[in-house]
Amino acid sequence: MSRANSRQMKLGAFLMAGGHHIGAWRHPDAVAEAGVDIDHFIGLAQMAEAAKLDMIFVEDAAAIRERNVNIASQAARSTGFEPLSLLAALAVNTSHIGLVATASTTYNDPYGLARTFASIDQLSGGRAGWNLVTSASELEAENFVSSGLRPHAQRYERAEEFAAAATAVWDSVDAGAYVVDGNVYVDPGKLHPVDHRGTHFTAAGLLDSPRSQQGRPVMVQAGASDAGKNLAARTADVVFTAAQTLEEGQEYYADLKARMPSFDREPDDLKILPGVSPIVGRTESEARAKYDALQELIPDEVGVALLASYLSVKDLSQYPLEGPLPEMPQTDGIQSRQQLIIDMGRRENLSIRQLARHFAGARGHWQLIGTPAQIADELEERFYAKAADGFNIMGALFPAGLEDFIILVIPELRRRGLFREEYEGRTLRENLGTRIPARGA
């Protein structure tokens, strides 16, 4: 127990409408139109907070998720709240849990986005986090620019400048700058106007709110390319990642943490949280039955279309379902996810249908099916083996999937000293234990 006391898991609840499983909306326990049901989201966030989870996490794309509306519809991920307005609504219905949303550096401006996250930080008392993405979807590009999706390298170059400018905006106001004592409103010595004039952006003013209670909103990233890992090593407090195997997890973990010293950061200032989709049963067969019931809800055409979208290719329907993936050209989409799927197909010798069904369940993430002890064993192994600092829990079906994890697995993790009994603080940064960056860092 002593080693557990010195290092505990950080846990996020990755929320997604009716569930991460692609067939979740067809399940008898599904919440109808979960994506735009705010009471559903408030219930999930409050449940996660009662269990002392570090954060809720929401993904985003500024577009529907699939060009073929018949399939998009089945994917059931094409309607939802815009994440920052969702976070604001959750902020006033929670008190301790971190609130992390995805936002794009390609379709926003740093001043505008930095002030919105600062606003959510004020609304929540220092619990906001920004999952920085560069947006790899063509459907998003079509909603914004006539020239289509920008190349990977160009998106990351813009993201680097975006992160620097946004950080400078947050750092333009020191703690205690706003005095507001009836005579003095502000201490001008505590204001440091930004003077960012870069290739992509200009930002030359002051943040229009007080400094965040947690210093800066927490920075989350998921980049797995070389450019993505460098950006994360330099700027991220949390990295959300996908790893199918222990070895993949260890390799990624070691690589990313090793990059940090060259950016003058301690490895412990960045928490690596792989995604995991746990299907929990009181017995192994109960867990397996839950999983099978979900897998039966995936029509082949939906699974294959989703797989094509993960691979950033237009269509896979011309290939035999029982055959292997064809050779894939590298695209400008999310390269790490393409590679993960291709690797898994080869490693486990899976057909297109098998790959499609697998990825339709956990969306490219680690799938665990078992009893609370079995699942805790697996998580504990990866935690101590330095493949993870914690996990982003992806319920297959909401609310049941999150509820099962909280009721059945969290107590098991606590018995092992692997997870907190109480929040350490009120801000997300305090609970994560990542240090408030100095101004200008």
Q: Which residues are annotated as a binding site for FMN?
A: 60, 102, 152, 156, 225
176 binds a copy of itself (CB under 8 A): no
397 binds a copy of itself (CB under 8 A): no
Q: Site map for a copy of itself, 20-59, x if CB under 8 A?
A: -----xx---x-xx-xx-x---x-----------------
Candidates 149-157, 201-209, 267-275, 424-432; binding stretch for a copy of itself (CB under 8 A)? 201-209
For a copy of itself, the binding residues in 118-157 under the rule CB under 8 A are 118-120, 122-123, 139, 142-146
**Helix pair angle (246-259, 372-384), 10° resolution:** 40
Q: List residues forming the annotated binding site.
A: 60, 102, 152, 156, 225
Candidates 78-86, 236-244, 318-326, 410-418; binding stretch for a copy of itself (CB under 8 A)? 78-86
175 binds a copy of itself (CB under 8 A): no
Find the binder of a copy of itself among 46, 73, 225, 354 (CB under 8 A): 73
Nearer to a copy of itself, 83 or 228 (CB): 83
Candidates 178-186, 231-239, 356-364, 390-398; binding stretch for a copy of itself (CB under 8 A)? 178-186
For a copy of itself, the binding residues in 210-239 under the rule CB under 8 A are 210
Nearer to a copy of itself, 272 or 294 (CB): 294
Find the binder of a copy of itself among 176, 205, 323, 326 (CB under 8 A): 205
For a copy of itself, the binding residues in 91-120 under the rule CB under 8 A are 91-93, 107-109, 111-112, 115-116, 118-120
Nearer to a copy of itself, 186 or 328 (CB): 186
Place of tokens 């692609």: 22
Degrees, nearest 5: CA angle 32-292-374? 105
Size of the site for a copy of itself (CB under 8 A): 70
Nearer to a copy of itself, 80 or 249 (CB): 80
* List of residues contacting a copy of itself (CB under 8 A): 25-26, 30, 32-33, 35-36, 38, 42, 61-64, 69-70, 72-74, 76, 78-82, 84-89, 91-93, 107-109, 111-112, 115-116, 118-120, 122-123, 139, 142-146, 178, 180, 182-186, 188, 191, 197, 201-206, 208-210
